[in-house]
Amino acid sequence: MAVLSAFIIASVHTEKPYLTLFSLIPICFFWSLDAMHKSFQRRFIIRSNRIEHFLRAGEFSDAVEKESFGDFHIPDLGGKFSVKNWKQKISPFKAALMFHVLLIYVPQIAIASFLFLILSFLI
C-alpha cells in the first residue's frame, strides 16, 4: 500500500496521472510472490500432516519399541511433492485466487485504476 501511495503522490505532484498505473507493477509482483509462498506453505502443511500421521501409526510405534527397523517400510512422502504433475504447476495460480489473497491485492488494483481515471480527468 505504501508503493501505491508513493505513486499517487508522485502523479499528483508531477501532474502525470499515468504514474498511478506504474503502481500496478509492484502490486502484481507482490501478489505473485505471495501466491508462490502460499502454494509452498500449503504443500508443506500437507506434507507435515502426512508425516505426523505416519509417526502416530501403530506400525511405527511397534518398530520403535522393538528397536528393529530392518523390514520397516518408510513411505516416500517427498515423491508426492514433485512439480512434474500439472496440478502442482498450477498451485500458485490457485493460491493467487484464494479469497484472503484476493482481499489484499484486488482492492489495491481497483484503487490504482480508479485514481488513474480520476486524475486523468482532473489534471
Query: pLDDT category, 110, cuts 50, 70, 90?
Result: very high
Query: pLDDT category, 46, cuts 50, 70, 90?
Result: confident
Please name the residue that has the C-alpha cell 508513493.
Answer: 6
Question: How far, in Å, CA of 70 to CA of 95, rounded?
Answer: 41
CA 67: distance to chain centroid?
42
Question: How far, in Å, CA of 111 to CA of 113, rounded?
Answer: 5
**Mean of pLDDT over the chain:** 81
Position 122 scores a pLDDT of 82
102 residue type, one letter? L
Domain range summary for the chain, segments of one domain joined by +: 2-68+76-122
Q: Higher pLDDT residue, 93 or 88?
A: 93
In the predicted model, what is the mean pLDDT of residues 84-93? 74
Query: pLDDT category, 79, cuts 50, 70, 90?
Result: low
C-alpha cell at 114: 480508479
Q: Quick: pLDDT tens for 89-108.
A: 778 888 899 999 999 999 99
Q: Quick: pLDDT tens for 49-76.
A: 877 887 787 777 776 777 666 665 666 6
Question: How far, in Å, CA of 38 to CA of 44, rounded?
Answer: 10
Question: How far, in Å, CA of 37 to CA of 82, rounded?
Answer: 16
Please name the residue that has the C-alpha cell 509492484.
Answer: 26
C-alpha cell at 6: 508513493
